[in-house]
Structure formats: structure tokens, C-alpha cells
């Protein structure tokens, strides 16, 4: 009986501790130690700061706010984003936990909010309220859009992972995973665009000036040269949903023990 209990505990511990993050990251940040080397870019009246407002894990996150007061005439929107420089890379995967705290639904049919941005490739939510991947052919001004089947809920964190892959055939490929499931794949011609940075936060594009107030939380960022995936279920996550690990382990062991006693009788 003792052996069976040990086996059950071992299986549970393995499920709780095994990480899907096998990639070697270029950098990671949970924003617990401030902004560090992040470069902040915002339009007038907007902010992108370290905050304690609704972190995914720990006590801090990156919190971006757009007050709806600025209309950027170049591309018709606002932005509040944190940027990291990327150099001499042809394959990049960027993952973040993202929650739209306020600002949905979007008021106009041409509106969108962008959360992770490479040059000519980003993940966004469109007017329909669904996540989408967007790419720009550098020889045109037309954006290619692939919508997913995932509708964004305000206040809910999603694990978003965006991949940029430079192919030998001359076309670039973008891939989007949501909560560990690949939801979109897109090809585009980047040509003269340079993969020199990655942005996290929020940037809006308005079909017409709407004055929409938007807040977005970003946490647990990882940028790597291969697929990253969601974080493993751990103690903090189980506590967040109200199930302490000790309760899970003890409950299962007790069930096994009672079942064993019943069989012996």
C-alpha cells in the first residue's frame, strides 16, 4: 500500500513540475524587477508602466493604458508599448500572457488592438472580438489577416505566442498559438522590413477616431529561437483557482487508501 501511495504522489509531482518551456530563451521577464532595459514608446496621454494591477503571477506586470485622447495621423491610432531590440535573427518566437482589462468591444468595424508586434507581423484582436494574426507585405500597404476561433474575454489572461520564421523560398511565415494550441499560419513578403525589435503592450488602429479607453496587462514574457509554450501548472496557479497542491495530493492519496481498504475487506 505504501508503494502505491508513493507512486501516486510521484505522478502528481511530475505533472505539477514538468515544464513545457524547453527552448533556450534570448530573454525572459516577469516584470518583478522593474523595466530594466525595456524602451517605452507611447503616444501623448498614454502610459506603459510596471504595475500591481492584476498580474498573471507574482505581484507585478506590464500595464499599458490608452486614454483615447490621441489620434496618430500616420496610422490612425494610439500605442503604449515596451520594446526590446533583436539583432541578426531569422527565427524568433515571442510569448506573453496577455489580458485586455478594459476597452472591449471595439466600437468601429475597422478597429483593432495589437499585443505583440514584430516588423510587419503582429497578433491582435479585431472588431469581431476574436484574436487574429496580421502580416504586411512590404511591397504593398495591404495587411493579410487570418482570424482565429478564440473570442477575447475582458479580464482573462491568454497565453499568446507569435513566431516569425524566415524561409529560404523568399517568403516569411508567421504562426500564432493561443494557450498552447496553434490557431493560425500566415505567409508574407517582408523584403526591406527589418526584424529589429519586438513590442509588447497595446497599440490600436481605429477605423475612425473613437476615443476608446483601453487597458491591457502583459506578464511572463519569453523570447526564444524555438517554440516556448505555456508555463506549467504550478502551486501559484492552483492556488489562484482555489486548489492548494497539498489538498490535491492528500485527497487523491486518501481516495486510493480507502479503495485499498475496501478491497481487503
Q: Round to whole Å and give the CA distance between 63 and 216.
A: 6
What whole-number distance in Å separates Cα of residue 9 and Cα of residue 115? Answer: 39
Please, which pLDDT band fits residue 1 given cuts at 50, 70 and 90? low
Of 37-41, 152-156, 189-193, least confident by mean pLDDT is: 189-193
* pLDDT at residue number 176: 96
Average pLDDT, the chain: 78
The least confident of 21-25, 40-44, 93-97, 105-109 is 21-25
Residue 241 has pLDDT above 80, yes or no: no
pLDDT at 152: 95
- Over range 84-102, report the average pLDDT: 91
State yes or no: pLDDT of 195 exceeds 80.
no
Confidence of residue 193 (pLDDT cuts 50, 70, 90): low
Above 90 in pLDDT, residue 29?
A: yes
Percentage of the chain lying above the pLDDT 90 cut: 42
Asked if residue 23 has pLDDT above 50, the reply is yes
The whole-model pTM stands at 0.79
Q: What is the pLDDT of residue 112?
A: 87
> Do residues 172 and 165 touch, judged by C-beta distance below 8 A?
yes
Amino acid at each position: 500500500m505504501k508503494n502505491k501511495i508513493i507512486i501516486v504522489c510521484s505522478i502528481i509531482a511530475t505533472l505539477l513540475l514538468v515544464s513545457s518551456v524547453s527552448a533556450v530563451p534570448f530573454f525572459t521577464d516577469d516584470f518583478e524587477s522593474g523595466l530594466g532595459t525595456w524602451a517605452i514608446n507611447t503616444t501623448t496621454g498614454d502610459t506603459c508602466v510596471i504595475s500591481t494591477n492584476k498580474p498573471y503571477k507574482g505581484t507585478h506586470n506590464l500595464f499599458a493604458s490608452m486614454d483615447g485622447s490621441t489620434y496618430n495621423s500616420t496610422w490612425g491610432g494610439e500605442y503604449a508599448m515596451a520594446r526590446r531590440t533583436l539583432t541578426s535573427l531569422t527565427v524568433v518566437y515571442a510569448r506573453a500572457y496577455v489580458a485586455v482589462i478594459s476597452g472591449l468591444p471595439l466600437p468601429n468595424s475597422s478597429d483593432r488592438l495589437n499585443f505583440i508586434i514584430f516588423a510587419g507581423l503582429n497578433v491582435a484582436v479585431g472588431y469581431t472580438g476574436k484574436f487574429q494574426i496580421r502580416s504586411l507585405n512590404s511591397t504593398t500597404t495591404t495587411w493579410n489577416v487570418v482570424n482565429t476561433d478564440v473570442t477575447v474575454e475582458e479580464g482573462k489572461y491568454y497565453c499568446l505566442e507569435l513566431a516569425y520564421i524566415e524561409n529560404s523560398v523568399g517568403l516569411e511565415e508567421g504562426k500564432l498559438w493561443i494557450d498552447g494550441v496553434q490557431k493560425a499560419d500566415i505567409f508574407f513578403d517582408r523584403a526591406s522590413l527589418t526584424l529589429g525589435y519586438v513590442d509588447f503592450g497595446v497599440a490600436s488602429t481605429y477605423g475612425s477616431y473613437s476615443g476608446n479607453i483601453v487597458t491591457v496587462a502583459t506578464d511572463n514574457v519569453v523570447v526564444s529561437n524555438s517554440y516556448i509554450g505555456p508555463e506549467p501548472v504550478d502551486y501559484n496557479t492552483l492556488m489562484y483557482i482555489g486548489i492548494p497542491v497539498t489538498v490535491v495530493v492528500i485527497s487523491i492519496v486518501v481516495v486510493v487508501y480507502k479503495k485499498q481498504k475496501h478491497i481487503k475487506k
